């Protein structure tokens, strides 16, 4: 009985979401594409003011991606434009989803098509690296613009709403794109490639420990090894395909080459180049460089023993204000890829593990600091530098610090 009671609210919510999706698509179909795009821009600009936590995530991503290339003023300007462009692209999906093939050619132009034609001519299939960029849902329909006879497939992540997921999946398959999920046998995908198929993979998302450690925008992180693995298994070609806005309601899809051999590092380098061509179109609202480390997974394990390879080091704040003076810094958290700043009480002696690469700071806080006091300290240490603070390391952390870190969108990691 309890399961049925729990299921009814979910089913009702799913149906309401489907109804909302239908209404939005219906309204978008009545308006010209440029008007839908402008409406989305306005909504994105509104979201900039209403979603402070997302705003901080976007700023943090951009400060990492463009450290050394843009100053803070330019990054703030780009972050605001990112919200507007993301809103425009997301709302435009409701309009472009119903366009016929002829109308699709009017709103989407493909550049460097010869790269795809040359790759297809080799007869081994093509792996396409895609990014959440521009109106990326157009990519599920781009088969209409490919050379005649092309077979397209793509990996997809099922939506949380199964009713809406079935609708979106059916629409994508109606356009002739074969959809693969992580549950499909690997050999089915490689067979599709060996038969000359084209398989698209969204490769810009963050991944956990299953990813491969590579530089991305100069920062060591983990990226999906799937494109490289598929290319090597099927002996397929690899290309990057990005989508950028050229005018309200109009986009261009651009093919980019990948340096051989198609290693994960080469794949991500090519994807980075494509994303940099139109950074405002990139969906930066997810915390891309999140570190999946903690009490049971050290930073050394997160980078899989890698000591070099990135040009932008991580920044960590080591918070010792709530730990005893005898605490010892664990060796598996000492890493040459991290620049450490240490916050400690003024009456502590310098610890024996301190080295010249670690900077000491004594924060000016009251004996029982408030959340706002700690937030001011975190902002002063984080906001004036590029790249930003990536995380706070704390052997002991009270509720006040946890709240302050959460409100500043700085991950707090407990270490032994």
Supply the DSSP symbol for 396. S
Q: What is the pLDDT of residue 2?
A: 45
CATH number of the domain to which 316 belongs:
3.40.50
Tokens of 400: 């006040």
CA distance 90 to 87: 5
Residue 414, both tokens: 């407990």
396: domain range?
Answer: 299-414
One domain, residues 259 and 365? no
The C-alpha atoms of residue 250 and residue 215 are separated, in whole angstroms, by 32
Spatial neighbors of 166 by CB under 8 A, at least 6 apart, are none
Together in a domain, 56 and 133: yes
Assess whether the previous peptide bond of 26 is cis (omega < 30° from 0): no
* 289 in a structural domain: no
Sole residue written with tokens 């843009």: 70
Q: Which pLDDT does position 1 carry in this prediction?
A: 40
Residue 241 and residue 145 in one domain: yes
108: Cβ contacts below 8 Å, ≥ 6 apart: 138, 142, 145, 250, 251, 252, 253
Say yes or no: 273 and 329 in one domain.
Answer: no
247, 281, 315 - which closes a domain:
281
Dist. CA 241–CA 116, nearest whole Å:
10
What was the pLDDT predicted at 324?
Answer: 79
* Residue 220 sits in the same domain as residue 313: no
Residue 292 lies in a domain: no
Note if the bond before 226 is cis, omega within 30 degrees.
no
Q: Is residue 293 part of a domain?
A: no
User: Does residue 287 form part of some domain?
Assistant: no
Tell me the whole-structure pTM to 2 decimals: 0.91
Final residue belonging to a domain, choices 254, 281, 308? 281
Residues 254 and 335 in one domain: no
SS (H, E, C) 129-180: EECCECCHHHHHHHHHHCCCCCCEEEECCCCCCHHHHHHHHHHHHHCCEEEE
Does residue 323 form part of some domain? yes
Write the DSSP assignment of 303-372 as a string of letters: TTT-----SS-EEEEEE-TTS-TT----GGG--TTEEEEEE--TTSPPPTT--TTEEEE-----SS--HH
pLDDT tens sequence for the chain (416 residues): 444 445 567 888 888 877 776 777 777 777 899 999 999 999 999 999 999 999 999 999 999 999 999 999 999 999 999 999 999 999 998 889 888 889 999 999 999 999 999 999 999 999 999 999 999 889 888 888 999 989 999 988 777 778 777 777 777 777 778 888 877 888 999 999 999 999 999 999 899 999 999 999 999 999 999 999 999 999 999 999 999 999 999 999 999 999 999 999 999 999 999 999 999 999 999 999 999 998 889 999 999 878 778 889 999 999 998 887 888 999 999 998 999 999 988 778 888 888 877 888 878 788 888 999 999 999 988 877 788 999 999 998 899 999 999 999 999 999 98
Asked if residue 253 and residue 333 are part of one domain, the reply reads: no
Show Cβ contacts of residue 231 under 8 Å, excluding neighbours closer than 6 positions.
Answer: 127, 237, 238, 262
Instruction: Identify whether 409 is part of a domain.
Output: yes
Is residue 273 domain-shared with residue 316, that is, in the same domain?
Answer: no
Is 291 part of a structural domain of the chain? no
| Backbone dihedral angles phi then psi of residue 166, each to the nearest 5 degrees | -65, -35
The phi and psi torsions of 282 (rounded to 5 degrees) equal -75, 140
pLDDT at 222: 95
Domain count, the chain: 2
Contact at 8 Å (CB) between 275 and 204?
Answer: yes
Residue 404 sits at φ, ψ, to 5 deg, of: -65, -45
**Residue 193 CA to chain centroid, in angstroms?**
26
Residue 151 in any domain: the answer is: yes
């Amino acid at each position: 009985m309890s399961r049925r009671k729990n299921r009814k609210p979910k089913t009702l919510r799913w149906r309401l979401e489907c109804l909302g999706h239908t209404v939005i698509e219906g309204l978008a179909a009545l308006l010209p594409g440029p008007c839908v795009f402008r409406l989305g821009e306005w909504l994105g600009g509104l979201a900039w003011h209403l979603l402070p936590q997302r705003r901080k995530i976007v700023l943090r991503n951009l400060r990492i991606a463009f450290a050394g290339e843009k100053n803070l003023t330019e990054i703030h300007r780009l972050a605001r434009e990112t919200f507007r462009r993301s809103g425009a692209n997301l709302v435009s999906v409701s309009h472009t989803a119903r366009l016929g093939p002829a109308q699709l050619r009017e709103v989407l132009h493909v550049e460097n098509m010869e790269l795809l034609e040359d790759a297809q001519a080799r007869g081994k299939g093509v792996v396409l690296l895609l990014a959440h960029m521009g109106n990326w849902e157009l990519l599920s329909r781009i088969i209409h613009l490919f050379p005649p006879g092309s077979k397209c497939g793509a990996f997809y992540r099922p939506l949380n709403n199964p009713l809406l997921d079935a609708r979106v999946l059916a629409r994508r398959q109606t356009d002739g794109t074969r959809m693969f999920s992580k549950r499909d046998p690997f050999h089915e995908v490689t067979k599709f490639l060996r038969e000359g198929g084209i398989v698209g993979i969204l490769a810009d998302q963050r991944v956990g420990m299953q990813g491969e450690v590579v530089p991305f925008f100069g920062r060591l992180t983990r990226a999906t090894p799937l494109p490289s693995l598929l290319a090597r298994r099927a002996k397929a070609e690899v290309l990057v395909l990005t989508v950028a806005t050229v005018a309200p309601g109009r986009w261009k899809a651009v093919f980019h080459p990948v340096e051989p051999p198609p290693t994960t590092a080469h794949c991500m380098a090519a994807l980075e180049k494509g994303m940099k061509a139109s950074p405002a179109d990139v969906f930066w609202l997810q915390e891309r460089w999140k570190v999946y480390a903690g009490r049971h997974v050290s930073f050394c394990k997160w980078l899989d023993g890698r000591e070099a390879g990135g040009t932008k080091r991580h920044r960590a704040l080591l918070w010792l204000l709530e730990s005893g003076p005898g605490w010892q810094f664990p060796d598996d958290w000492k890493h040459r890829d991290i620049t450490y700043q240490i916050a400690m009480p003024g009456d502590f002696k310098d610890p024996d593990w301190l080295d010249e690469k670690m900077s000491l700071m004594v924060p000016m806080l009251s004996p029982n600091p408030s959340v706002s006091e700690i937030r001011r300290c975190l902002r002063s240490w984080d906001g004036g530098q590029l790249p930003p603070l990536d995380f706070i390391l704390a052997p002991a952390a009270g509720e006040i610090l946890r709240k302050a870190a959460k409100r500043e969108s700085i991950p707090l990691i407990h270490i032994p």
